[in-house]
């Protein structure tokens, strides 16, 4: 773990560095605001510990400047003041947490653990098949970079195809998964909607993703 400590009090800094290094943390120290800002922008840290009272430039400023420069490294602010005003202001200026001096080393460590625990949820569950993209989160669809407007039913159907690509799906199967369970119309509706889809995602691009398998159903093919 790489940590940047921005702290001008030599004694405190030295003792923190000793403790952190003993715990296997890679520590860099900056002794004033501008230096801290520069290091934070130029190097890649996992977390920043920032004192509020600094020579030349306050911790507030450093914090704000960093966020403004689009640096989102977690910041833990240290403050000797006890007023809640500072507290609120640090948090609102972009800090992730703060600690009031004096504090114990173990508390600092526990806080750092929390800050580092954020495993940012990877999300993009985008369905892709060749040049076709389907995003369930935004209900959007595009082929070869061209946006395609789909109705709700069309989207559900295409989503089902993509999730079962390269597999023959019978009309009844499709009916079960894409239409309401209590739908009692004829399977012809599937043919109708397959037709709609082909007109939107195949014909304009001269592709042939949705293949009819006579007497069996349909097949969405990709990755050929």
Binding site for DNA (CB under 7 A): 149, 151-154, 171, 179-180, 183-186, 188-189, 191-195, 198, 212, 214-217
Residue 221: contacted member of a second copy, DNA, none (CB under 5 to 8 Å, by partner type): a second copy
Q: In angstroms, rounded to a whole number, what is the distance separating the alpha carbons of residues 175 and 67?
A: 51
The footprint of a second copy on residues 110-169 (CB under 8 A) is: 110-111, 113-114, 118, 120-122, 124-125, 137-139, 151-152, 166-168
- Sheet with 97-100, side-by-side order of all strands: 26-30, 2-6, 47-51, 75-79, 97-100
The helix (H) or strand (E) run that includes residue 91 is helix 84-92
Least distance from C-beta 3 to DNA, angstroms?
Answer: 17
Q: At closest approach, how far in Å is the CB of 92 from DNA?
A: 24
DSSP symbol at 201 = I
Q: Which two tokens stand for residue 29?
A: 């120290």
Which CB, 131 or 172, lies closer to DNA? 172
The residue assigned the tokens 């949705």 is 210
Residue 141, strand partner residues: 134, 148
Select the residue interacting with a second copy from 107, 116, 144, 192 (CB under 8 A).
Answer: 107
**What 3-state class would DSSP assign to 135?**
strand
Residue 44 binds to a second copy (criterion: CB under 8 A): no
Measured distance CA(191)–CA(177) in Å, rounded? 15
| List of residues contacting a second copy (CB under 8 A) | 67, 72, 74, 84, 87-88, 91-97, 104, 106-107, 110-111, 113-114, 118, 120-122, 124-125, 137-139, 151-152, 166-168, 213-216, 219, 221
């Amino acid at each position: 773990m790489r940590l940047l400590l921005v702290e001008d009090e030599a004694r405190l800094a030295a003792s923190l560095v000793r403790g952190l290094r003993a715990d296997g943390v890679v520590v860099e120290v900056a002794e004033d605001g501008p230096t801290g800002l520069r290091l934070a922008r130029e190097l890649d840290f996992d977390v920043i510990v920032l004192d509020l009272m600094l020579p030349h430039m306050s911790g507030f400023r450093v914090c704000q400047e960093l966020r403004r420069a689009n640096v989102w490294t977690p910041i833990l602010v240290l403050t000797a003041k006890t007023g809640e005003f500072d507290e609120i202001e640090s948090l609102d200026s972009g800090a992730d947490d703060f600690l009031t001096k004096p504090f114990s080393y173990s508390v600092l460590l526990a806080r750092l653990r929390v800050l580092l625990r954020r495993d940012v949820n990877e999300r993009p569950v985008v369905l892709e098949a060749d040049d076709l993209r389907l995003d369930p989160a935004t209900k959007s669809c595009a082929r070869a970079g061209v946006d395609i407007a789909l109705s709700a039913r069309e989207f559900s159907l295409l989503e089902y195809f993509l999730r079962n690509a390269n597999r023959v799906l019978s009309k009844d199967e499709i009916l079960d998964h894409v239409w309401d369970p209590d739908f009692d119309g004829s399977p012809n509706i599937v043919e109708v909607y397959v037709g709609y889809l082909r007109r939107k995602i195949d014909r304009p691009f001269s592709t042939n993703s949705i293949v009819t398998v006579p007497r069996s159903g349909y097949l969405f093919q990709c990755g050929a």
